[in-house]
Amino acid sequence: MKKIAFSFVLVLMMIIVAACGGATSEETSSTNSDASSSEGWEPTKPIEIVAPSGAGGGWDTTARMSAKVFEEAGIIDQNMGVVNKPGGGGAVGWAYIAQKEGNPHHLFVNSPPILLIPLAGQSQYGHEDFTPLANVIADYGAFAVHADAKWNDLNELFEDMKKDPSSITVVGASSPGSMDHIQFVKIAKAAGVDITKVKYVSDQDGGALTSLLNGSVDVYSAGIAETVEQVRAGKIKVLGITAEERLVGEVISDFPTATEQGIDETFTNWRGFFGPPNMNPEEVAYYEQKFKELSDSEEFAEIRAQYGWDEFYMNSSDYKAFLDAEKEEIQALLTELGY
């Protein structure tokens, strides 16, 4: 009887120890899971950044300079390659990224055309079809004329355009209804010009500046960076820029704003990054943090100064709200233009 009782007690103790051991194992597993969750998502392979344009433009430069700082400053450990997908004012690149749904290793850089091109009916994809991650910079437009042109400021130009808008030809590298066109008519409208009669021609093959230099057109609407070297060479002059206040830097500090000339309007060429559709919150949070580190870095501050960019960081939710509001404003302008 004693042996039976002893055996019973021994078995009972083994069950208790096993139960305690099991609980400890479960607690350990739970702890490891929580630790893994708190660490969040990180990329596990190289990251591709798409510039939906050819080499050398604003999208390409922003993508390459960002990738350079991400790697050299050690902000992101994975390799980052920039791939150019030109065509359709950005539409070819957007279609490519749309096929990468849920894959957080593919990003792309963009700016107002992702609102303008779809609204003009030139792309089936718009900003709502992707995941806004962060905006990083603000760039601005410049309106330049030949160095020998009779106009010395925007008011002189717009006075002539008020009399006969179609007598003056404006050229840009973007398609009608897209950025170079819209930034010009937005400022012209504020100055009292009938924008429905503005003669805008598009040269997407890199010949817009050449057209200005050879006298084929009268006004060149472009990004500030595209005008600096020709201003320095004395071949063109910038009548005004779309920033709220003058920029700091060699050459560009001499460019007057439209607002200082009494024209109460601006245009910001914001530029930021998106991911494919249906990224999860952990992936978005990772990129938000990394783009904030990029924006705050000394290395990227030097690049902003080099290209005349302003700091303009927005996180994912702020960026989405900003894009929604911008779309409404642009829609009204395009409607007036008949798009």
CA 214/CA 263 separation, integer angstroms? 29
DSSP 275: E
Q: Is residue 24 part of a domain?
A: no
Residues 6+ apart with CB under 8 A from 174: 89, 113, 180, 181, 202, 204
Q: Both tokens of residue 100?
A: 């990468």
- Over the chain (339 residues), the average pLDDT of each successive run of 10 is 40 40 38 42 97 89 97 96 93 97 97 93 95 97 98 98 96 91 97 97 89 97 93 98 93 96 97 98 98 98 91 98 96 91
Q: Is residue 7 part of a domain?
A: no
Domain match, 249 and 281 both: no
Q: Is residue 6 part of a domain?
A: no
Amino acid at 205: D
Among residues 214, 231, 261, the one where a domain terminates is 261
Domain match, 219 and 127 both: no
Q: How many domains does the chain have?
A: 2
Q: Is residue 275 part of a domain?
A: yes
Domain match, 128 and 113 both: yes
Domain match, 179 and 249 both: yes
Amino acid at 219: V
Q: Is residue 114 part of a domain?
A: yes
Other C-beta atoms lying within 10 Å of the C-beta of residue 66: 27
Domain match, 84 and 101 both: yes
Per-residue model confidence (pLDDT) at position 39? 64
Domain match, 195 and 111 both: no
Among residues 229, 261, 293, the one where a domain terminates is 261
Q: Residue 298 burial (CB < 10 Å; 0-12/13-18/19+)?
A: exposed
Per-residue model confidence (pLDDT) at position 58? 87
Q: Is residue 53 part of a domain?
A: yes
- Residue span of the structural domain in which 290 resides: 47-139+269-337
Domain match, 156 and 254 both: yes
Domain match, 276 and 135 both: yes
Residue 254 C-alpha from the chain's centroid? 26
Domain match, 200 and 134 both: no
CA 284/CA 290 separation, integer angstroms? 10
Domain match, 67 and 124 both: yes
Phi, psi of 184 (to 5 degrees): -70, -50
The CATH number for 210's domain is 3.40.190.10
Dihedral of alpha carbons 210, 215, 217, 223, sign: positive
Residues 6+ apart with CB under 8 A from 203: 171, 172, 173, 211
The CB-side HSE value for 259 (13 A sphere, CA atoms) comes to 9
Q: How many helices (H) and strands (E) does the chain have?
A: 11, 10
Domain match, 227 and 198 both: yes
Phi, psi of 205 (to 5 degrees): -105, 15
CA 253/CA 251 separation, integer angstroms? 6
The CATH number for 285's domain is 3.40.190.150
User: Quick one: which H or E segment has residue 136?
Assistant: strand 131-146
Among residues 215, 241, 261, the one where a domain terminates is 261
Domain match, 153 and 225 both: yes
CA 316/CA 330 separation, integer angstroms? 21
Q: Is residue 9 part of a domain?
A: no
